[in-house]
A = this chain, B = another copy of it.
Amino acid sequence: MPTYTAPVKDMQFVLHDVLKVSESGIPGYEELDRDFTNAVIEEAGKLSAEVLAPLNPVGDAQGCVLENGVVRTPQGFGDAFEKVKEGGWNGLDLPEEYGGQNMPYVLATAVGETMVSANMAFNMYQGLTHGAISAILAHGSDEQKQTYLPKMVSLDWTGTMNLTEPHCGTDLGIMRTKAEPQDDGSYAITGQKIFISAGEHDMAENIVHLVLAKAPGGGAGTKGISLFIVPKFLVNEDGSLGARNGVSCGKIEEKMGIHGNATCVMNYDGATGYLIGELHKGMRAMFTMMNEARIGVGLQGYAQAEAAYQNAVAYANDRLQGRDVTGAKNPEGAADPIIVHPDVRRNLMDQKSFVEGARAFTFWGAQLIDQAHRSEDKDAEGLVSLMTPVIKGFLTDKGFDMAVQAQQVYGGHGYIEEWGMSQFARDARIAMIYEGANGIQALDLVGRKLAADGGKHVMAFFDLVKSFIKENEGEEALKADFLDPLKAASKDLQAAGMYFMEKGMRNPNDALSGSYDFMHLFGHVCLGLMWARMGKVAQAKLDAGEGDAEFHRTKIATGRYYMKRQLPATATHLARIQSGGDTVMALEAANF
């Protein structure tokens, strides 16, 4: 069975040495000193390693079962959920007035990583609730907040997001679920929603569904959409639970992975719903939560890769096959451990350099979200909005690839469910699809984010890269291994951006045909930047004789690997982009 250990030291390195959170001046960050974050992450890591990780294969094997309208979660999930509740983990970054602890999102991100690595399917019950809370916080009335938030923050009640319908996923404008105004100010919601994660289960007293539906008078397309709160049990004035609402789970889907999470078909049969936010502005309400939700999915991508990587390393050290070509490393044994083989190293280094770069990138994104919210910093918000599709799309694509590579380390055993490596790959696969399939992320990046605010944010990103290179180009130790590759990759990214500007104006297909490659190109540059920053910090620590020299040397070696072995991919992405839309669009639909 796979095991998991929270990478606390790596997280601390990112938080304190790279992002320097406690010196950043963001309100609330002054509490994030080394000891405090260490204690919090250690504690969360313990829960993740000891309680959640052992349940991961259980959830996969048992799945969820729907019987008489009730969804039974896998054995042990209920008890574990109680432990998450008791620890108050869900409220870590939520307002104190509703029972939370008002800590920065960046800390919740670190905590969340340990839980997602340990048990992604389980963590979604909490994750969806957190998303629903954010929506109510941002758009709910005071009464709605008082009614729902305390119980949701404590996880007595959980939440869901209901967007997709059988015939519409990406294109919400064609949705059919209807909201009919009632005399008492509520709405009667009727329709069917699919792919509703945690839509029904047995771990909470109540489930608060946030549902997009069309109310009369809004017109066609997405303009007519409003957002509604539809609780499973209506809530009486005194806060106690009342009648069962007209919402039910009609089916749970058999999926490739995340079996421990119930993916429900939800039927709304004139269910009582309460408008949240403005009428006909439901899409806007959804958008405000999107960065956070998408960063959370990007995190799932690399967090699955982290868990898979840890086990691949253990197996590579354990499994004896063949001999080191430069001389036996385990001469007493029947063979050497496979970690001696260069191609196994190549595989593990791919994984390690990706995961650590991805973590730094994601934590940086989380810090920017804090900066946007807590310091009301519009530039930070613009920058993180630009990078959000990259975090989501690039990190989930690569996270899946790395989980597949980790599986490969196990040879035949990687394909056998008992060893657990298949689950990491199967679970990671969904992150490329939900919360906007990765093709949609690429479209969002190229079609919307690049040009947002007159291209201000992408220029800010380039300035950031440029000034980092400029500030540090005197450092001999960094130049060849970190700065030069970063400069080359960044040049490729700029060339791609220029290509879009020149060609995309005349024919949008030229830009959109390259959107997916652009997302990956951008991702590589971001991870290159993170590795350059990490390399700089680690080198400075070494020069100053501070901290754990072995740890810092390992960081530098891992960073060098990324710069030498992964960043060159930018040239291929640029070539694909610059080949334009003609080859992509050449065929008639009938000739595929």
Contacts and interface: CB of A to CB of B under 8 A. Distances in A.
B167 A320 contact: yes
A416 B169 CA distance: 14
Contacts of A164: 412
Interface string A281-297: 00000000000000000
B433 A412 contact: yes
A146 interface: no
Nearest to A258: B415
A434 interface: yes
B584 A513 contact: no
A508 B584 contact: no
A400 B400 CA distance: 12
Contacts of A337: 589
Given A343-B439, A343-B442, A513-B346, A408 B422 contact: no
Interface string A75-90: 0000000000000000
A571 B255 CA distance: 38
Interface in A456-470: none
Interface string A526-567: 000000000000000000000000100010011011001100
A313 interface: yes
B550 A564 contact: no
Contacts of A417: 253-256
A418 interface: yes
B415 A512 contact: no
Given A321-B170, A408-B433, A438-B408, A342 B512 contact: yes
A557 B509 contact: no
Contacts of A408: 432-433, 437-439
Contact of A565 (B345, B507, B583): B583
Contact of A509 (B256, B326, B347): B326
Interface in A96-133: none
A277 interface: no
Interface stretch (A45-53, A66-74, A574-582): A574-582
Contact of A334 (B174, B344, B426): B174
B429 A411 contact: no
A408 B169 CA distance: 13
A589 B342 CA distance: 12
A151 to B, nearest CB: 29
A322 interface: yes
A550 B587 CA distance: 10
Interface in A366-418: 400, 404, 407-408, 411-412, 414-418
Interface string A325-358: 1100000001101011111111111001000000
A403 to B, nearest CB: 11
A236 interface: no
B321 A168 contact: yes
Given A554-B591, A560-B583, A437 B422 contact: no
A572 interface: yes
Pairs of residues from A and B, 10 with the lowest C-beta to C-beta distance, nearest first: A568-B575, A342-B512, A557-B586, A256-B422, A564-B579, A171-B321, A561-B583, A343-B439, A342-B513, A254-B417
